Amino acid sequence: MSRALLSGARIVTLTGPGSQASVTEGAVLVEGGRILWVGPSGAAPEADTVRDLEGRLVTPGLIDCHTHLVHGGHRAGEFARRLAGASYADIARAGGGIAATVAATRAASLDDLVATALPRLDRLIGEGVTTVEIKSGYGLDIETELRMLQAARALGQARAVRVRTSFLGAHAVPPEFKADRAAYLHEVCLPALRRAAKAGLADAVDGFCEGIAFSPAEIATVFAEAKALGLPVKLHAEQLSHAGGAALAAREGALSADHLEYATPEDAAQMARAGTVAVLLPGAFYTLREATAPPVAAFRKAGVAMALATDCNPGSSPLTSPLLAMNMGCTLFGLTPGEALAGVTRHAARALGLDDVGQIAPGFRADLAIWDVEAPEELAYRIGFNPLWERFFGGIA
Ligand code: DI6
Ligand code: FE
């Protein structure tokens, strides 16, 4: 196997405790798609090829751990309605919102879903993303939920990127089941989940715990099925109100609870005990012009790992820039630039239950982003600027 050395780098390994983003001068040795060695350039082992990075910054490849990348249509019309004063919940109650995207997604073929998601995926990849999570949740019938997950898998074949899927059948109650929520859960959501699991289409199970979506008791039913199928869980929790999702996620040992604008210090304490990652989604906070930010200080104090993601979706977060998510995480939520970087690398890996990405250390996958910047803070600091110089996926540029 050939050994490739990247020398003369400034490396942010993200291996330190918490969210330290300290820079070390050095080299990374890659073999067989994995990192074999990290250390000072002068002490590097023999390699077949050597590339001088001339002081460029190397971070782990970015991980976008919460997206709804696969969907039909767009909702630019709703954007205009919200600007004119309608709230996200008003639009949802009037049959727009998620239901509008459900109609467009049901009408889309597998090929359509892949083709329309590819430009969004390419934007993420263009900013150094090497792992992306993609959810279902705009089908809300068995066939379309499965088709969304198939599209997500196809995206992972179409591009050099690792795709992790989450089944999100409990995203909204579709219009045809408004009068019988229990029937939706038992006749559509749970059977779809079983089929997705059997076909190997779901890596995790997600839900939307909210007044306009599902109650903690309803989500618990879905989580019980996930457990029976051996799948990890995660949850959209406390986004628009405090509905009890964060505590449920912690009780169930969820990988992550996501959004969390209305989470409390008590929720933070329970999440810390359970090791549940807080996934912060400033794109949705910004788009919905929310006034209540997630309790970052409480998460920090309790020792909850904080991840950051785009939440790329056609309604509340039409965002395809993890770098802008980092900037917003700092400016809107008060993260430090170091926390923002850990949020799209080390902690995002944890939110997906992955232990071979998100850090630069021997044994980890050689998923790397090389940036034309001097300091890691620059990644979060600039707005609308992309300094990616090169990206390695499994050691391949
Ligand atoms: N919370 C969100 O922000 C997205 N889903 C969710 O549960 C929004 C989905 C949409 O508006 O289409
Ligand atoms: Fe989401």
Q: For 167-180, how does the pLDDT look when each residue is reduced to its tens digit (9 = 90+)?
A: 999 999 999 999 99
For ligand 1, atom 4, which residue shows the shortest CA distance?
316
- Tens of pLDDT along 289-341? 999 999 999 999 999 999 999 999 999 999 999 999 999 999 999 999 999 99
pLDDT at position 92 is 87
Whether this model's pTM surpasses 0.95: yes
Beta bridge partners of 209: 214, 237
pLDDT at position 19 is 62
pLDDT at position 297 is 98
CATH number of 62-351: 3.20.20.140
- At 259, is the secondary structure helix, strand, or coil? strand
The ligand whose atoms approach the alpha carbon of 134 most closely is: 2
> CB 55: neighbour CB atoms within 10 A?
11
The answer, yes or no, to whether any atom of ligand 1 lies below 6 A from the CB of 245, is no
Q: Which residues contact 166 (CB under 8 A, 6 or more apart)?
A: 133, 134, 135, 136, 202, 203, 204, 205, 206, 234
For ligand 1, atom 2, which residue shows the shortest CA distance?
316
pLDDT at position 23 is 84
3-60+358-392 fold? Urease, subunit C; domain 1 (2.30.40)
Whole-number Å distance, alpha carbon 316 to ligand 1 midpoint, is: 6
Q: What is the mean pLDDT of the chain?
A: 97
- Tens of pLDDT along 240-281? 999 999 999 999 999 999 999 999 999 999 999 999 999 999
pLDDT at position 309 is 99
391 pLDDT tier (thresholds 50, 70, 90): very high
Pocket test for ligand 1, best of 240, 288, 317, 319 (most atoms within 8 A of CB): 317
Q: Residue 168 CA: which ligand 1 atom is closest?
A: 7
Whether 62-351 and 3-60+358-392 are alike in CATH topology: the answer is no
CA dihedral 252, 266, 348, 293 (to 10 degrees): 130
Q: Which residues contact 242 (CB under 8 A, 6 or more apart)?
A: 262, 263, 264
- Tens of pLDDT along 9-23? 999 999 987 667 788
What average pLDDT does this structure show over 90-109? 94
89 pLDDT tier (thresholds 50, 70, 90): confident
For the chain, the domains span 3-60+358-392, 62-351
pLDDT at position 21 is 73
Counting residues of the chain whose pLDDT is more than 90, the rounded percentage is 95
pLDDT at position 18 is 61
- Tens of pLDDT along 62-86? 999 999 999 999 999 999 999 999 9
The ligand whose atoms approach the alpha carbon of 313 most closely is: 1
The answer, yes or no, to whether any atom of ligand 1 lies below 6 A from the CB of 236, is yes
Distance CA 377, CA 260 (A): 25
Whole-number Å distance, alpha carbon 68 to ligand 1 midpoint, is: 8
- Asked whether residue 397 carries a pLDDT value surpassing 90, the answer given is yes
CA dihedral 57, 356, 166, 227 (to 10 degrees): -150
Distance CA 222, CA 38 (A): 43
- Tens of pLDDT along 206-230? 999 999 899 999 999 999 999 999 9
Q: Residue 311 CA: which ligand 1 atom is closest?
A: 3
Residue 253 carries which side chain, given as an amino acid letter? G
Residue 273 carries which side chain, given as an amino acid letter? R
Pocket test for ligand 1, best of 91, 98, 256 (most atoms within 8 A of CB): 98
For ligand 1, atom 10, which residue shows the shortest CA distance?
315
Distance CA 327, CA 333 (A): 10
The answer, yes or no, to whether any atom of ligand 1 lies below 6 A from the CB of 296, is no
pLDDT at position 16 is 80
The answer, yes or no, to whether any atom of ligand 1 lies below 6 A from the CB of 320, is no
What is the residue whose two structure tokens read 């850090």?
A: 359
The answer, yes or no, to whether any atom of ligand 1 lies below 6 A from the CB of 318, is no
